[in-house]
Amino acid sequence: MFQKGLKGVIAVQTKIASVDGDKGELKYRGLLVDQAVEGKTFEETAFFLWNGAWPEKDELHALVDELKKERILPVHVTAIAELLPADVSIMDNLRTLVSAFSSREFGLRSPKGQALALTAALPVMAAMLYRLKHGLKPIEARQDLGHTANFLWMLNGQEPLNVHIEALDTYLKLTMEHGMNASTFAARVTVSTESDMVAAITSALGTMKGPLHGGAPSGVIDLLEEIQTPDRIESVIRTKLEHGEKIMGFGHRIYRTEDPRSIILRKKCLALQGEDEWLDLATAAETEIIRLLNLHKPGRALHTNVEFYAAAIMRSIDMPPELFTPSFSIARIVGWTAHVLEQQNDNVIFRPQSEYIGN
């Protein structure tokens, strides 16, 4: 039976994650996502997605140490980064650098070792590429900082604020995995040919680059910057609704109720209230926008999606727009690699048929 875009077609059985749009549920390894991320570090959640169990204390220490060690890139990868043209996008250059990991030595590592190394390296490469692109000297990684804090440090060499580390860390954990999305499917298709982890992640990055999948929350940032202050929320939103403009950050193609990730990000932003003006503006704006949407479009039930609070977080830490999709990839690589590992453990090549409709 032909189904355009394979919509609704089940191609994989997985134990990694599930998405229920009608119930508004996202589960990591059978746990509701709030249980899988709250009170957990990036490293703990990554371990859980890779292994299906939480790390023991010694396992977590070993993981953290290994991730820090892998922040030191292979010499040839750094050399290639310095040769890449500045007019090429960071996502394109990231894809090139990931491909450069395909050395014989890297291929001899265990699949989980490869997953860990690429996860550790991706934010280092993204920060380095950003700085090189703008004529700046790359900043060395710090061994005393966690995964998220080190990424922020390497972008600008400034001590990251705790409020920004907490907000970004929450976003990264919530977007590590989201079922059989386009980039995850691309990774599984690639490795199903018995290609390798590096090729699979390169495929995923190429897919994530597409605006229909890894598109940046720029529209929400534009909205927040237009609002500027809480007293302008109502007037700006009413004007947009009266002119038939779409309010960015509301509604989702999968979730028919509120995006569970936005609930957790809202909770985090409220817990950090008073520490960052952009996070405060987002929580105030959301409440008023929902009220006005219900008045203007009764019965539509438009809910906040993860993009809304992602935009607030990116704006609060002054994340350049060209780093939005790379930052999304820094989170999603955990899910990609988990799916690659699962595919390798029970592999059948993907080989759908096509229906000829020509003359």
Residues catalogued as catalytic: 252, 307
CA distance 128 to 154: 7
Calculate Rg over the CA atoms of the chain. Answer: 21
CA distance 139 to 66: 20
Structure tokens that stand for 302 in this block: 């438009």
Structure tokens that stand for 47 in this block: 């371990």
CA distance 47 to 30: 15
